Amino acid sequence: MSALAFVCVALAGGVGAACRLMLDGVLRSRFPGRIPRGTIVINISGSFLLGLAAGVAASGFLPPVLYSVVGAGFMGGYTTFSTASFETVRLFQQGRWRLGVVNGFGVLIAAVAAAGLGLLLGGLV
Protein backbone atom coordinates (compact mmCIF):
# COMPACT_ATOMS: atom_id res chain seq x y z
CA MET A 1 0.00 0.00 0.00
CA SER A 2 1.36 3.38 -0.94
CA ALA A 3 1.83 6.18 1.57
CA LEU A 4 -0.93 8.18 -0.14
CA ALA A 5 -3.35 5.26 0.07
CA PHE A 6 -2.48 4.79 3.75
CA VAL A 7 -3.19 8.45 4.49
CA CYS A 8 -6.48 8.27 2.56
CA VAL A 9 -7.59 5.19 4.53
CA ALA A 10 -6.72 6.95 7.80
CA LEU A 11 -8.55 10.14 6.82
CA ALA A 12 -11.58 8.17 5.63
CA GLY A 13 -11.61 6.37 8.99
CA GLY A 14 -11.73 9.70 10.77
CA VAL A 15 -14.56 10.90 8.56
CA GLY A 16 -16.45 7.64 9.16
CA ALA A 17 -16.05 8.01 12.93
CA ALA A 18 -17.27 11.61 12.78
CA CYS A 19 -20.30 10.53 10.75
CA ARG A 20 -21.03 7.81 13.31
CA LEU A 21 -20.83 10.30 16.16
CA MET A 22 -23.10 12.77 14.36
CA LEU A 23 -25.73 10.18 13.37
CA ASP A 24 -25.75 8.62 16.82
CA GLY A 25 -26.25 12.05 18.39
CA VAL A 26 -29.12 12.90 16.05
CA LEU A 27 -30.86 9.60 16.72
CA ARG A 28 -30.37 9.86 20.48
CA SER A 29 -31.84 13.37 20.54
CA ARG A 30 -34.85 12.47 18.37
CA PHE A 31 -35.54 9.05 19.90
CA PRO A 32 -34.51 9.15 23.56
CA GLY A 33 -34.61 5.93 25.53
CA ARG A 34 -32.59 2.98 26.63
CA ILE A 35 -32.54 1.15 23.28
CA PRO A 36 -29.25 1.82 21.45
CA ARG A 37 -30.98 2.88 18.21
CA GLY A 38 -28.02 4.82 16.90
CA THR A 39 -25.64 1.89 17.10
CA ILE A 40 -28.24 -0.41 15.57
CA VAL A 41 -28.86 1.90 12.60
CA ILE A 42 -25.15 2.58 12.15
CA ASN A 43 -24.09 -1.07 12.11
CA ILE A 44 -26.89 -2.23 9.81
CA SER A 45 -26.45 0.65 7.37
CA GLY A 46 -22.67 0.24 7.50
CA SER A 47 -22.98 -3.48 6.75
CA PHE A 48 -25.21 -2.71 3.78
CA LEU A 49 -22.85 -0.04 2.44
CA LEU A 50 -19.79 -2.26 2.87
CA GLY A 51 -21.57 -5.09 1.07
CA LEU A 52 -22.53 -2.68 -1.70
CA ALA A 53 -18.94 -1.47 -2.03
CA ALA A 54 -17.67 -5.07 -2.08
CA GLY A 55 -20.13 -5.97 -4.82
CA VAL A 56 -19.16 -2.95 -6.90
CA ALA A 57 -15.46 -3.73 -6.35
CA ALA A 58 -15.98 -7.37 -7.33
CA SER A 59 -17.64 -6.19 -10.55
CA GLY A 60 -14.50 -4.23 -11.37
CA PHE A 61 -16.10 -0.80 -11.10
CA LEU A 62 -14.31 0.19 -7.90
CA PRO A 63 -10.49 0.09 -7.93
CA PRO A 64 -8.93 -1.95 -5.08
CA VAL A 65 -7.29 1.09 -3.49
CA LEU A 66 -10.61 2.98 -3.44
CA TYR A 67 -12.31 -0.08 -2.00
CA SER A 68 -9.70 -0.03 0.80
CA VAL A 69 -10.42 3.64 1.46
CA VAL A 70 -14.18 3.06 1.55
CA GLY A 71 -14.17 -0.35 3.25
CA ALA A 72 -11.32 -0.35 5.74
CA GLY A 73 -11.24 3.43 6.11
CA PHE A 74 -14.70 4.96 6.11
CA MET A 75 -16.72 1.86 7.04
CA GLY A 76 -14.12 0.85 9.61
CA GLY A 77 -14.55 4.20 11.32
CA TYR A 78 -18.32 4.36 10.81
CA THR A 79 -19.36 0.95 12.12
CA THR A 80 -18.79 -0.05 15.70
CA PHE A 81 -18.84 -3.68 16.78
CA SER A 82 -17.31 -2.88 20.16
CA THR A 83 -20.04 -0.39 21.05
CA ALA A 84 -22.74 -2.83 19.95
CA SER A 85 -21.18 -5.52 22.15
CA PHE A 86 -20.90 -3.17 25.13
CA GLU A 87 -24.51 -2.01 24.76
CA THR A 88 -25.72 -5.60 24.62
CA VAL A 89 -23.81 -6.44 27.82
CA ARG A 90 -25.19 -3.29 29.45
CA LEU A 91 -28.75 -4.41 28.65
CA PHE A 92 -28.03 -7.77 30.32
CA GLN A 93 -26.56 -6.00 33.37
CA GLN A 94 -29.75 -3.95 33.64
CA GLY A 95 -31.78 -7.15 33.73
CA ARG A 96 -33.26 -6.49 30.31
CA TRP A 97 -32.52 -10.01 29.08
CA ARG A 98 -34.99 -10.16 26.21
CA LEU A 99 -33.86 -6.82 24.79
CA GLY A 100 -30.24 -7.87 25.21
CA VAL A 101 -30.80 -11.05 23.22
CA VAL A 102 -32.74 -9.17 20.54
CA ASN A 103 -30.05 -6.49 20.36
CA GLY A 104 -27.19 -8.99 20.20
CA PHE A 105 -28.62 -11.58 17.83
CA GLY A 106 -31.15 -9.38 16.03
CA VAL A 107 -28.57 -6.80 14.99
CA LEU A 108 -26.14 -9.55 13.98
CA ILE A 109 -28.74 -11.21 11.74
CA ALA A 110 -29.95 -7.88 10.32
CA ALA A 111 -26.39 -6.69 9.64
CA VAL A 112 -25.46 -9.91 7.84
CA ALA A 113 -28.67 -9.72 5.79
CA ALA A 114 -27.98 -6.06 4.97
CA ALA A 115 -24.41 -6.91 3.90
CA GLY A 116 -25.74 -9.70 1.69
CA LEU A 117 -28.31 -7.39 0.11
CA GLY A 118 -25.64 -4.75 -0.49
CA LEU A 119 -23.32 -7.32 -2.05
CA LEU A 120 -26.12 -8.57 -4.28
CA LEU A 121 -27.08 -5.06 -5.41
CA GLY A 122 -23.46 -4.02 -5.84
CA GLY A 123 -22.88 -7.03 -8.05
CA LEU A 124 -25.62 -5.86 -10.40
CA VAL A 125 -23.51 -2.89 -11.49
pLDDT digits (tens, 9 = 90+) for 47-89: 999 999 999 999 999 999 999 999 999 999 999 899 999 999 9
| Cα separation values, 56 from 78, 104, 124, Å | 19, 29, 8
In the chain, domain spans:
3-122
Confidence band of 1 (pLDDT split at 50, 70, 90): confident
Q: How far apart are CA 7 and CA 10, in angstroms?
A: 5
Q: How long, in residues, is the chain? A: 125
pTM over 0.85: yes
